[in-house]
Amino acid sequence: MKKTKIVCTLGPASQKEEVLRQMIEKGMNVARLNFSHGTHEYHKENIDLIKRLRDEMNVSLAILLDTKGPEIRTKDFAEGKVVLEEGSEFTLTTREVEGTNQIVSITYQELPKEVEAGNTILIDDGSINLLVKSTTDTDIVCEVIVGGDVNNHKGINVPCVHLNMPYMSEADKADVKFGVEQGVEFIAASFVRCKEDIMELRKFVDYYGGQDIRLISKIENVEGIDNFDEILKHSDGIMVA
């Protein structure tokens, strides 16, 4: 009996029936749908295809909905991408500006009020490392510690700072409700910070009839690590992302 399970993320290439069939034949146990991208119509096409193939092939194949979570992202750069040089100054702002290699708008309006000088800010899964030098009500002035390319809509993470963002956004609520209606087996909850986050999701899922859906908490920052034990008690599993 194979105890190690294989989770595969489905994208445009694997949406083709023959590709998906081959993935199942090679041992895929869980099909992950990333709700940070794609419409409900797009994901329903994948869900319908997965259900049909697993019935035809008589295999056990679970569907996992991965939530967007309480994300912060950069907005648009004028040319779609910039290069940040180590040692340069780069500002994150809640003002609406045209992004350059000196400044870019961000999606979370309260961030300048919740960080302070000395904090680290990571962009694009940590590929860009910024050190906060100063803040105003709208701007976070940073020094680039580790530079590189940054594209539009990249994720922002503040590892050691508690952010007062509500855990479930309206978009996440709509996605989770859709997942319950579609009968997914697992929900991977992104950026779980404390037990209250996963308890809120559990209550929401149960309200819409998803009592049998298993919840996987994704630990993605220091706060989640600090609260690991209590998060685990209220989760069906943990994913370190």
Going residue by residue through the chain (241 aa), what tens digit of pLDDT does each one get? 577 899 999 998 888 999 999 999 999 999 999 999 899 999 999 999 999 999 999 999 999 999 999 989 999 999 999 999 999 999 999 999 999 999 999 999 999 999 999 999 999 989 999 999 999 999 999 999 999 999 999 999 998 898 999 999 999 999 999 999 999 999 999 999 999 999 999 999 999 999 999 999 999 888 999 999 999 999 999 999 8
What distance, in Å, lies between the first and last C-alpha atoms of the chain?
A: 27
Q: Is 15 exposed, middle or buried (0-12, 13-18, 19+ CB in 10 A)?
A: middle
Q: What is the value of pTM for the model shown?
A: 0.85
| Interacting residues of 1 by C-beta distance below 8 A, sequence separation 6+ | none
Please say whether the structural domain 72-157 has been given the CATH code 2.60.40.1180.
Answer: no
3 state SS of 190: coil
CA nearest 40: which of 173, 153, 174?
Answer: 174
Q: Cα separations (Å) of 3 from 6, 60, 218?
A: 10, 14, 21
Give domain 7-70+166-240's CATH architecture: Alpha-Beta Barrel (3.20)
Location of each CATH 2.40.33.10 domain in the chain:
72-157
